[in-house]
A and B are shown apart, each in its own frame.
Chain A
């Protein structure tokens, strides 16, 4: 399995998934014109990774904005990481938000309540 690297654009985030280290980062803005097309390779990669994960997996979101259409796909990414934790491997989600962005923090809290996984919410400056 190869790493998954997607370069950011104005409306799509940087994706840097490293299967060797288990650090999986999605950062930036998320409002793709076609969320299904954008997220399909990400979900496919994560689905494959979840079958043979690294010793420790961390899905880290550092998002400044995402729209309602992307919401469901981001949550689907979380569910795949949750499946790793449920199969007995170490896995967690880190949700970083800009310290003045209460809405982004709230969204992280809403996700956290729905997932059975170590879910850390962190303010950044």
Chain B
């Protein structure tokens, strides 16, 4: 039977590397009735979210990755994890910049060109840009905790067709 929701828990002290994370997702999405292009989009966003989670989350907490397909065929990928406030502030600033952009493509091109010219600029830093490029709708929430950390909730949606 095909499913319309999958959840992948990322345990405390996660030992999976990127390859294993990619394989876990590939195994789980076999249970979904979706097109090949939609699967590719899921892989793309999942890997960016996974790497982001592994970089910024608090490793002594569980993280959750969830995929939902609604009745209209909209696919939503959600990640939730504990993180230090300072990391979430950084993420929030990047998010706000992308959210305010009315031309993601030009912004992406400008950023990559700038990196070619300025060799001292640190490499990478395109993860959130990729998630924005591959999705149509996005959500960002912060849930305050009493322990000086926060839960960060990110969601990216795109149609399962076309």
Contact = CB atoms under 8 A, between A and B. Distances in A.
Interface of A: 10-11, 31, 33, 35-36, 65, 67-69, 71-73, 75-76, 79, 100-103, 106, 110, 113-114
Given A72-B126, A110-B105, A114-B109, 5 more contacts: A10-B22, A71-B112, A79-B116, A100-B40, A101-B40
6 contacts: A33-B18, A69-B124, A72-B123, A76-B116, A100-B36, A103-B44
Contacts of A10: 19, 22
Interface string B117-137: 000000111110110011000
Interface residues of B, number: 30
B116 A68 contact: no
A75 B41 CA distance: 21
Contacts of B40: 65, 100-101, 103
The binding surface of chain A is classed by DSSP as helix
Nearest first, the 10 closest Cβ-Cβ pairs linking A and B are: A68-B126, A68-B130, A68-B127, A69-B124, A100-B37, A10-B19, A11-B19, A71-B126, A67-B47, A100-B36
Nearest to A106: B133
Contacts of A110: 105, 108-109
A31 B109 contact: no
